[in-house]
Chains A and B, each alone.
Chain A
Amino acid sequence: MIRFEEVSKQYKSSNRPALTDINLDVEQGEFVFLVGSSGSGKSSLLRLLLKEEVPTAGTVSIDGLNIGKLSNRKVPALRRTLGIVFQDFRLLPSKSVFDNVAFGMEVIGKGRKEILERVPEVIDLVGLEGKEDRLPSQLSGGEQQRVALARAFINQPKILLADEPTGNLDPSTSVGIMKLLDRINRTGTTILMATHDVAIVDQMRKRIVQLEHGTIIRDQQRGMYGHTGH
């Protein structure tokens, strides 16, 4: 469903390309780890899918829809089919857990009734029942990331993009988040996750796509981080 064809990305303010001739196919329901050292182009690749950036060459498509050519007016509709989580959670500090999760539905115009039904469901799913009224500052990092995941998942996206979601968490908390991502993946949601976390990648035994200096140097099913060509 996700397809990169000969995709290159050159940022204007940078003198070397962030991505070069990327070819990548991801099927519906897959779980893919994007690994590679810092600056290898993982975040850039995810940003192309969100149309936060457009490719300098090649095409990025989701279900045959050319993302780079999408008109600005249609970008919101694209993003509603995608969920995103980041390393720094990106929660609204002045809103409660419930309101942060509901925010994903509010901004796209969902009704009160639907929100009151759906939000508690997803809060349960991420294991935060009883903490609906807390502010983000009253939660641990792991709990905050759960809120972010709940918000990303609230509109049942086809694809979930996660950019180092465990980057700020300790190993045991990270395991909890990975279990949650696995559960979300089992509902049929395609997951693309950029990470540096060797332990997690090795544990999950999922497909691994490894980038180096903007090119794919490995694409392996049920891979291990350590067992590479380098």
Chain B
Amino acid sequence: MRASFIAREVGGGLRRNFTMTVALVVSVAVSLTLFGAALLMRSQVDRMKGYWYEKVQVSIFLCGENSLAYTCTGAVTDEQRTDVRATLEGLKPTVQEIYYESSDEAYSRFKEQFKGSPIIANVAPSALPESFRVKLDDPSHYDQVANALSGKPGVESVQDQRKLLERFFQILHGLQTFALAIAGAMLFVTVLLVMNTVRVAAFARRRETSIMRSVGASNASIRLPFVLEAVTAAVLGASLAAGTMLAVKSFVIDARLQPNITFIAWVTWDDVLAILPWLFGVGIGTAVLASGITLRRYLKG
């Protein structure tokens, strides 16, 4: 069938069914916005966890030139560094893996994590200490490592990597689950709406479809306009949801949060853009599946 013919059929169908179309677009928009919000929170958590969070439990920061800790007398020496490593090696098997991160490596990871944040301009590579990152056999063994290393010359501080952010992540995780649950419920409503819309449309156009069938239109071409109507509504809804995501990034995160709360690494534009295909994918997928199933039942060949 010609594209312009299909476009006219689809346009006509959506207009005839205007109130249903509006309901469908709104419910798609709401469910996908919530779904997008959940994905955004996940990106935010990933952003804040940075490179080391999933891999290690303890970070041992070594002294830099300007460190003020009493264990520091200028930058850590090669000897002290070797000694710290030896101590860590001695703690095996409680200590399972030991990674070393130089000040330069730390800086480039920092830049990646705080991409787009004004804080980068205020931080020099030398301000980020070199460190040992340690993976434990069991996170609750943190004290053993802390006791063995804090107070050692050349060690500025020993940090329980998880304690810092865990509480905040728990809250975000709760919010995320909540958003996902509502998104799921809304998506279910959307599926029912698509099914009902398509059913009503198929009934309203049974004359057309029976004529199409009798002149030898294929099943696919009889169903296509209905599926495309649902997909068009889904794309409109997904566009609204995508617009909301972009607006949140631009007007809330960039304009309000980032300038005021600089010690948190906020989601970047790349993170937000990576979410958008999911919104369209889920929206279109739902529309195709729900309308396809309905048409199988109501437009038998």
Contacts and interface: CB of A to CB of B under 8 A. Distances in A.
A107 B301 contact: no
Interface in B191-250: 207-208, 210-219, 221-222
Given A72-B301, A109-B1, A109-B2, A103 B216 contact: no
A78 to B, nearest CB: 7
A75 B215 contact: no
Contacts of A94: 12
Contacts of A77: 216
20 contacts: A72-B219, A75-B301, A76-B213, A78-B216, A79-B214, A79-B216, A80-B215, A80-B216, A90-B210, A90-B214, A103-B215, A106-B2, A107-B215, A107-B216, A108-B1, A109-B1, A111-B2, A151-B215, A155-B215, A155-B216
Given A90-B207, A90-B210, A106 B1 contact: yes
A50 interface: yes
Chain A interface residue bracket vs B: 20 to 34
Nearest to A109: B1
B1 A90 contact: no
A109 B213 contact: no
B2 A107 contact: no
Interface of B: 1-2, 4-5, 12, 207-208, 210-219, 221-222, 301
Interface of A: 50, 72-73, 75-82, 84, 90, 92, 94, 103-104, 106-109, 111-112, 151, 155
A108 B12 CA distance: 20
Contact of A107 (B1, B4, B12, B207): B1
A97 B208 CA distance: 15
A189 B214 CA distance: 18
Contacts of A82: 216
Contacts of B207: 90, 92
B217 A108 contact: yes
Contacts of A76: 213, 216-219
B191 to A, nearest CB: 27
Contacts of A92: 207-208, 211
Contacts of B5: 106
A90 B4 CA distance: 24
Given A108-B217, A109-B2, A155-B215, 10 more contacts: A72-B301, A75-B301, A81-B216, A92-B207, A92-B208, A104-B215, A107-B215, A107-B221, A108-B1, A155-B216
